[in-house]
Amino acid sequence: MATDTPLRCGYVAIVGRPNVGKSTLLNHILGQKISITSRKPQTTRHQVLGIKTEGHQQIVFVDTPGLHLNADRAINRFMNRTASAAIRDVDVIVFVVDRTAWTAEDSVVLEQVQQSGLPAILVVNKVDLLEDKQVLLPHLQKLAAMADFIAILPVSALHRHNVRELEAQIVKLLPESAHFFPEDQVTDRSQRFLAAEIVREKIMRQLGEELPYAITVQIEEFAQEGEVLHISALIFVERKGQKKILIGEKGARLRSIGADARRDMESLFDSRVMLRLWVKVKSGWSDDERALRSLGYDDRKE
């Protein structure tokens, strides 16, 4: 059917310091989970694309690791490089902050946003958690004085408050362009990558205090056999003590993590899943550039 409405498509980076709700925001915009979440900062380690197509508009969101000041380990430097690169290669920036808090890390992100010269929307997330709503308006006025934002939106990503308004603001800024992806595609990442991330999320959620950043996950097997998807995942830790914590007494913790991960996988992949988990010690992997590359931390898409 002929129409005068132009096609619009563009890349939109979701940036901010760790733990402000970037991945939760992306998942709720898409209506499905492609980015893992937990209450621990730095849960997101990789750049993940989330693609939303509605009619003539296609928004390609880039979920990024949180930009942070602590870059003493190789994995922290990798995450900062990944987030900074995303800012340079998009059409629009969505800068997410947490309620009325403002930190030195927020200032670092703001500086990069301003240096980019790109149109930026400021999202003040988690406003549903503010006990005194009257502090919000003066804070928004203070933020407005910091930079020339296209819009400043108080949002609750978790409860979808103002999320549609955010999408409407983004669409206004998209360039006229043919769509980059098929309309039914929601991410650029492989199912193997998503499976590994689900396992890592469950570990972060169950053992975030004991093993905050010491684990990573590799998928060794991903094969559909009849109605069952067979997935084998190898979990790397840095020390023997961490392996003991992860396995738990008589394997109880590892079984619990596996059960939680399998439920999410069956929903995501629409298949019965047979999940097998192993744990292996790989000393110092998070501060070894070569080890990081071997474990997939090299910006290459799977």
Q: Which residue has the tokens 């200032």?
A: 107
pTM: 0.77
pLDDT along the chain (302 residues), means of 10: 78 89 89 69 64 95 71 62 74 94 90 92 94 90 94 91 94 96 91 91 85 81 96 93 94 96 93 96 74 60 42
Given a contact cutoff of 8 angstroms between Cβ atoms, the answer to whether 279 and 254 are in contact is yes
Q: At what angle do helices 22-30 and 163-173 cross, to 10 degrees?
A: 90
Domains annotated on the chain, with CATH: 8-173 (3.40.50.300), 191-294 (3.30.300.20)
Give residue-wise pLDDT tens across range 3-62: 578 999 999 999 988 888 888 899 899 988 777 665 555 555 567 789 999 999 999 998
Q: What is the pLDDT of residue 18?
A: 82
Q: What is the pLDDT of residue 301?
A: 43
| β-strand partners of 263 | none
Q: What is the pLDDT of residue 17?
A: 87
Rounded-to-integer distance, Cα 200 and Cα 223, Å: 20
Helix (H, G, I), strand (E, B) or coil at 223: strand
Q: What is the pLDDT of residue 46?
A: 60
CA distances from residue 131 to 99, 127, 134, 136 in whole angstroms, order as listed = 11, 9, 9, 10
Q: Which two tokens stand for residue 12?
A: 């939109």
